[in-house]
Structure 1
Amino acid sequence: MLNYKHLHYFVSVAREGGVIRASERLHLAPQTLSGQILQFEERLGVALFNRSGRRMELTPAGRLALSYAEEIFQTGAELEDILRHGGEERFVTFRVGIADVVPKFIAYRLLAPVLQMPETVRLICQEDRLERLLAEMAIHRLDMVLADRPMPPTTDIKGYSHPLGESGVAFLATPALARKLKGPFPESLQAEPLLLPGKDSSLHGALPRWLDRQGIRMRIVGEFDDSALMKAFGEGGAGLFPVAIASLQDVVAHYQVEQVGATDEIRERFFLISPERRLTHPAARAVSEHAQAGLFAGAG
């Protein structure tokens, strides 16, 4: 059986980066704490740390152990809270991974129904690159992942892609930049500065290809993995930027920009990726049903 005292010591050393600082926090002698960590490693049969002088760095096994340990202690804290309140504040935990290229307003619109469910739901959102989120889902640390593309066909992770909807693309700019554009759309984009979503986004390749077909050459002045950062640069007047029509009204109101044109020839698609073919988590079903019921209606 797992020794939870040793697990607590391990987490403390991992967070502090060494035995000395952890021993001060735990009010233990460094020699005692070091011995406890060695006993823990011997019991598990793996090295959790690489020792470099006083510095202790986690091994791959140590990083995996830390992720599980933090979840164990979080669950323990939740249990204690529930018991202290007589079980009156029970909730369902729903852990969602959000690919960093998914627009924030789209993610909010997709997940908002979760907070309106009859059950009390604690929504935990984790943003990262799609590949890392799928790895987290594979070890059951995420219940689902939101992405702008289905699971890569080359991945060996078991999962299923559920289409949520798709949207045409609009081009936005500050009012000052929009006034400088000449001619009808899309010819008005010729030689203008463009802010391009990063290489993980489906728009990274689709948008330049569409411009080429129109015979238009824009000046790519920046590429952004984070969609919110791209919009912040757009708000500052650095260039035009694309958004899914489904989030157009939210983006225009929030960033004080305006639409200069739109096309249905470029499509942004959104997917719910789950470890199961049929959605069994009630919150995941709520996301899917809400999206299919009309979130993307009128989005082009």
Structure 2
Amino acid sequence: MSHLNYNHLYYFWMVKRKGSVVKAADALCLTPQTVTGQIRALEGRLNGELFTRVGRNLEATELGQLVFRYADKMFNLSYELMDILNYQQDESVLFEVGIADALSKTLSSRILLAGFPDDGSLHLACYEATHELLMSRLREHKLDMILSDCAGGSLQYPEILSKKLGECGIGFFAAGEVPGEFPACLEQVPLLIPGKRTSMGQQLHRWFDDNGLNVRILGEFDDSAMMKAFGFFRQGIFVAPSIYKQDIFDQNISLIGETHEVRQEYHVMFAERMIQHPALKRLLATDFSDLFAGKDPGIAGL
């Protein structure tokens, strides 16, 4: 075997990563028939089948698993090469970041600012979505990094690295007075909380049970900004990181109570190939201890 057709190998790699010919064809802007034909040609070159059909799903054969391991290294290295070349040549370095919509926008922006150089050479592009959608985009090389409230997804993929930046407790806020002592007073007013798919939403439900609270939940939100907007219009008690309570007070909102038993975590996740991105390197080297302790000087200027 003197050489391989790398286009054929790339199409196989995409099918294996996407899980189906149809999804790979859509990503490649080709017809499924074309992709299938290219894989058949590669199988002919390798003298063996790369996939076997199990029900409606395609599963890689032993040969397919072997070929994929090498192809995965090859194409990830090619992405890394292009990234490094772009960092060296572009006057403005593009930094595409995904932010889990459950996170506080204020705190997320403070974290991202740590990656900004003083010379204005960084061009930031932010995308908001659920943790699951962001992980998918990250694995498809459509994002350089994601900022999320959990790192569980990164454990499933060896090519994805993660680092916990910090965590903080949460406060319960309302546009008006709430009678009674905290936390029992939470039973008196409808609550606006993060959805059950989020880490904080799951923690809150456990915390209510642990404290014997029979609360009435008016709404669950994947987007923290939407949750806060409902709270500002006097629709119920909402939650937010307690370290930014002064910023919330300035908007005529009262703190009902706070707890450190429910904590919002901040993790960055990125492909191993992105470790050389200048903005990511600065962010990973930053100590966020003061920020998550509520001592960051930037908070006073909000």
Q: TM-score range by the shorter chain?
A: 0.5 to 0.7
The one-letter amino acid of 2:149's match is D
Seen in structure 2, the aligned counterparts of structure 1 residues 279 and 256 have a Cα distance that, compared at 3 Å, is: farther
Question: Following the alignment from structure 2 to structure 1, what is the Cα–Cα distance between the partners of residues 207 and 132?
Answer: 27
Q: CA deviation at 1:218?
A: 1.3
Seen in structure 2, the aligned counterparts of structure 1 residues 250 and 200 have a Cα distance that, compared at 3 Å, is: farther
Q: String of CA shifts for 1:248-283, please: whole Å, max 9, x gaps.
A: 333443x53121110111111110011129943221
The one-letter amino acid of 2:152's match is M
- Contact 1:105 1:250 survives alignment (8 Å): no
- Contact 2:144 2:270 survives alignment (8 Å): yes
- 1:245 equivalent in alignment to 2:242: yes
Question: Following the alignment from structure 2 to structure 1, what is the Cα–Cα distance between the partners of residues 131 and 206?
Answer: 23
- Contact 1:151 1:161 survives alignment (8 Å): no
- Contact 1:193 1:221 survives alignment (8 Å): yes
Equivalent in the alignment of 1:64: 27
Question: Following the alignment from structure 2 to structure 1, what is the Cα–Cα distance between the partners of residues 273 and 203?
Answer: 29
Q: CA deviation at 1:158?
A: 2.4
Q: String of CA shifts for 1:187-225, please: whole Å, max 9, x gaps.
A: 222232101101231111211221222222111011111
Equivalent in the alignment of 1:108: 109
Q: CA deviation at 1:132?
A: 1.8
1:91-102 matches, within 5 Å, as: 91-102=92-103
Equivalent in the alignment of 2:188: 191
The one-letter amino acid of 2:228's match is K
Question: Following the alignment from structure 2 to structure 1, what is the Cα–Cα distance between the partners of residues 195 and 181?
Answer: 28
Question: Following the alignment from structure 1 to structure 2, what is the Cα–Cα distance between the partners of residues 131 and 201?
Answer: 10
- 1:285 equivalent in alignment to 2:281: yes
Give secondary structure in 2 for the equivalent of 1:115: coil
- 1:271 equivalent in alignment to 2:264: no
- Contact 2:98 2:128 survives alignment (8 Å): yes
1:199-218 matches, within 5 Å, as: 199-218=196-215
Question: Following the alignment from structure 2 to structure 1, what is the Cα–Cα distance between the partners of residues 92 and 273?
Answer: 25
Equivalent in the alignment of 2:133: 132
Equivalent in the alignment of 1:155: 156
Question: Following the alignment from structure 1 to structure 2, what is the Cα–Cα distance between the partners of residues 225 and 270?
Answer: 16
TM-score, with length taken from structure 2: 0.65
Seen in structure 2, the aligned counterparts of structure 1 residues 64 and 169 have a Cα distance that, compared at 3 Å, is: same
Equivalent in the alignment of 1:297: 293
- 1:221 equivalent in alignment to 2:218: yes
TM-score, with length taken from structure 1: 0.65
- Which consecutive unaligned segments of at least 5 residues does structure 1 have? 1-43, 47-58, 67-74, 80-86
Q: CA deviation at 1:61?
A: 4.0
Q: CA deviation at 1:62?
A: 5.3
Deviates further, 135-144 or 235-244: 135-144
Identity level (%): 35
Question: Following the alignment from structure 1 to structure 2, what is the Cα–Cα distance between the partners of residues 126 and 157?
Answer: 23
Q: CA deviation at 1:291?
A: 5.0
Q: Which 4+ runs in 1 deviate beyond 6 A?
A: none
Seen in structure 2, the aligned counterparts of structure 1 residues 167 and 293 have a Cα distance that, compared at 3 Å, is: closer
Equivalent in the alignment of 2:173: 172
- Contact 1:171 1:260 survives alignment (8 Å): yes
The one-letter amino acid of 1:242's match is V
- Contact 2:175 2:232 survives alignment (8 Å): yes
- Which consecutive unaligned segments of at least 5 residues does structure 2 have? 1-9, 13-21, 30-81, 296-302
Question: Following the alignment from structure 1 to structure 2, what is the Cα–Cα distance between the partners of residues 202 and 182?
Answer: 29
- Contact 2:135 2:153 survives alignment (8 Å): no
Residues matched between the structures, number: 220
Deviates further, 147-156 or 258-267: 147-156
